Amino acid sequence: MMTIKPAWRVVLASLFCLMLIQPASSEEAPKEAAKPKEGEHDWLIKHPTILKLLKLHNQERARNGLPALTLNTKMCLKAQEHAKWMAQTGYYQHSNLPWPEIIFQGPTSAAAAVNGWIASPAHHSIMLTGTQAGFGYMVLNGQYYWVGVFQ
């Protein structure tokens, strides 16, 4: 019969307890880590430029008798990712996002971007759709990129 010294009993008991509280498979831990935390991207919907875009859109919607849009964090994140992608790659093109989208390259302020969209009948009609929106923008090497998505 094998005897275990008292110090090893503590070590083995600790290891056994750790085994009990670990996930049953190693695949479970990464899934949990990959999930975004609640409110993790709220900084984006609180950003002054994003709030300015929302305010200007809602002013135009009010002029057209429509209710105000609300910001959708996920949509803002996707719009921001697309604006960043356009700036980093230099490609100016629509994304494959599942929402109606407006993009603009060039204007150096939120007001100028929104006024440009208002002046374009196709973009203006998209601005007046939905009840939720996501906005993003990126400035790189003096170039401004603007994105709005609606649902």
Domain ranges of the chain: 42-150
Comparing 38 with 123, the larger pLDDT belongs to 123
Select the CATH number that applies to the domain covering 42-150 from these four: 3.30.360.10, 3.40.50.150, 3.40.33.10, 3.40.50.300. 3.40.33.10
pLDDT single digits (tens) 48-100: 999 999 999 999 999 999 999 999 999 999 999 999 999 999 989 999 899 99
pLDDT single digits (tens) 3-36: 555 554 544 444 343 333 334 333 333 344 444 4
Residue 26's pLDDT is what? Answer: 36
**Assigned token pair, 135:** 């906005």
Residue 121's pLDDT is what? Answer: 97
Residue 37's pLDDT is what? Answer: 58
For residue 14, count other CB atoms closer than 10 A to its CB: 10
pLDDT single digits (tens) 110-121: 999 999 999 999
Among 97, 28, 4, 129, smallest CA distance to 147 is for 97
Three-state secondary structure call for residue 150: strand
Three-state secondary structure call for residue 38: coil
Phi, psi angles (nearest 5°) of residue 38: -55, 125
